[in-house]
Amino acid sequence: MAATHLEAGDPVGWFEPLYASARRDPAAIPWGAPGPHPYLTGWLEAPVATPPGRRAVVVGCGLGDDALAVARHGFEVTAIDVAPSAVRWAGRRHRRSGIAWRTLDVLDPAARAPLEGAFDLVVEVLTVPYLPGVVRDAAMHAIGALVAPGGVLVVVTLVAAGPDRAGDGPPWPQVPSELAAYRSAGLVRLALDHPPPEPMAAAMPVRLTFQRPRS
Ligand SMILES: C[S@@+](CC[C@H](N)C(=O)[O-])C[C@H]1O[C@@H](n2cnc3c(N)ncnc32)[C@H](O)[C@@H]1O
């Protein structure tokens, strides 16, 4: 499904048919493991930096479990995803969460413009490594642009163990050098956390924390 859309020059078009064809069965979604990502819950319990306010956005929210975890920590959450079926599904799963669910392509400058600089906490879990190289810089810039002055960005991604992107994706683990795109979006890196590398692993999960300076 991904290959067909990528060949047609549509890097995000495969997400919607994937969610739609799952017919509300999380087991049919490759990343549909129930519950928030443990790197995110760990961060929420022991934040690397304190967001200056309570406005949060979760980008690429999928089935919404990360957004729910953020809401349960007292944030007013907007959760966005390019796939309308994911947004509807997440809204039904977490009906009384108070989360604002929105279908939005973060790569679309016009759709994104009203959200730029609007969030004290921005969360991105495993979205960028599912995008092909050609739009990754733009995606990281777009996500970074959502962070308010003084605000904090938490990213959970996959990073390749070596200098080259590992294997056939999606996902395509990120190479460490491409993560600099967040800094060129005006953010300062505060922390990079990961488990001890496994000797033969081609990629490992990494959590990064960035902050936008106040001025
Ligand atoms: C690999 S999934 C991860 C979903 C969720 N974060 C999780 O960890 O379960 C990537 C998600 O990002 C969404 N996505 C991809 N490109 C996007 C874009 N340009 N704007 C908004 N959402 C996007 C997809 O629809 C999908 O739900």
Distance 181 CA to ligand 1 centre (A): 19
Q: Which of 19, 81, 102 to mutate to test ligand 1, by most ligand atoms within 8 A of the CB atom?
A: 81
Distance 200 CA to ligand 1 centre (A): 28
pLDDT in tens, 10-27: 889 999 999 999 999 999
β-pairing, 55-59 vs 119-125, is parallel
- Check pocket membership of 101 for ligand 1, CB cut-off 6 A: no
Q: Which residue is it, tokens 């922390």?
A: 191
Q: From 1, 11, 4, select the one nearest 60 (Cα to Cα).
A: 11
> What pLDDT score does 33 carry?
75
Q: Looking at the predicted structure, is the pLDDT value of residue 50 above 60?
A: yes
Domains and CATH numbers, the chain: 37-211 (3.40.50.150)
- Burial (Cβ within 10 Å: 0-12, 13-18, ≥19) of residue 47: middle
Q: From 134, 110, 129, 121, select the one nearest 6 (Cα to Cα).
A: 134
pLDDT in tens, 95-144: 999 999 999 999 999 999 999 999 999 999 999 999 988 899 999 999 99
3-state secondary structure 182-193: HHHCCCEEEEEE
Residue with the smallest CA separation from ligand 1 atom 2 is 127
- Check pocket membership of 48 for ligand 1, CB cut-off 6 A: no
Q: Which residue is it, tokens 């990494």?
A: 206
DSSP 130: G
Q: DSSP string covering 101-123, please? A: EEE--TT-HHHHGGGTT-EEEEE
- Three-state DSSP class for 213? coil
CB atoms within 10 A of CB 38: 11
Q: Which residue is it, tokens 């967001």?
A: 51
- Check pocket membership of 179 for ligand 1, CB cut-off 6 A: no
pLDDT in tens, 140-190: 999 999 999 999 999 999 998 776 655 677 899 999 889 999 999 999 999
Residue with the smallest CA separation from ligand 1 atom 18 is 105
- Check pocket membership of 126 for ligand 1, CB cut-off 6 A: yes
Q: From 94, 68, 73, 38, select the one nearest 152 (Cα to Cα).
A: 73
Tell me what the mean pLDDT of segment 56-82 comes to.
98
**Side-by-side strand order, sheet with 100-103:** 100-103, 76-81, 55-59, 119-125, 147-160, 203-211, 188-193
- Check pocket membership of 15 for ligand 1, CB cut-off 6 A: yes
Distance 5 CA to ligand 1 centre (A): 15
